[in-house]
Amino acid sequence: MKRYVISVLLVGLLAPAAAVCGELEEIAEQEQIEREMELRERDMELEHRGTEMDFEQEMQRLELEERRMRIEREMQELELAADRDRSGKEAMPALLLLCAVVHILVAVWVYTDIRKLNRGSGIWIVIALLTGLLGTLVYAVVRMGDARIAQS
């Protein structure tokens, strides 16, 4: 009976300790589960932030590409405009030279016509040099009028 009482006492003393140990084990398991959940949440958050950073980097790369293309397009437009300006500037001296030659040829024709007909004055040569084809046209009209007067 002594043994029985001692064993009951020991069981009575150890039972709460075992219950406490069981509770401690459950608490430890819950804490372990909570830690694992926190780690998973952190991993998910890190993954989310990583995808956000990748997205932002891709957007920045696209914006830079768009800017580069816009700059290239503007440079091409500027080059085309410069080429047009150069071609216009190259044609200008040739046009001026052509006008000068026409003025001189018209003045020579007026001079030879005046000398051939032995009438008129040197003022028509100056008018032909200064006004070009317009002055020569006026000279031709006056000359035709003089020819009709001389015929009548």
Any residues with CB less than 8 A from the CB of 139 and at least 6 apart, and which?
A: 110, 124, 127, 128
Tokens of 56: 């932002």
Measured distance CA(51)–CA(43) in Å, rounded: 12
Amino acid symbol at 60: Q
Q: How many CB atoms lie within 10 A of CB 113?
A: 16
pTM for this prediction? 0.43
The residue assigned the tokens 């401690």 is: 24
**What is the reported pLDDT for 88?**
65
| Higher pLDDT pick, 120 / 74 | 74
pLDDT tens, residue by residue, 10-24 = 666 666 655 666 677
Alpha carbon distance 14, 24 (integer Å): 15
Q: Give the tens place of pLDDT for each residue, 47-85.
A: 999 999 999 999 999 999 999 999 999 999 998 888 777
SS3 118: coil
**Cβ proximity of 128 and 103 under 8 Å:** yes
Q: Quote the CA–CA distance of 7 and 13 in Å, as a whole number.
A: 10
Please compute the mean of the pLDDT values over residues 104-110 and round it to a whole number.
90
Tell me what pLDDT residue 11 has. 64
Compute the C-alpha angle 30/31/36, nearest 5°: 95
- Nearest to 110, CA basis, from 98, 95, 126: 126
Quick one: pLDDT at residue 57?
96
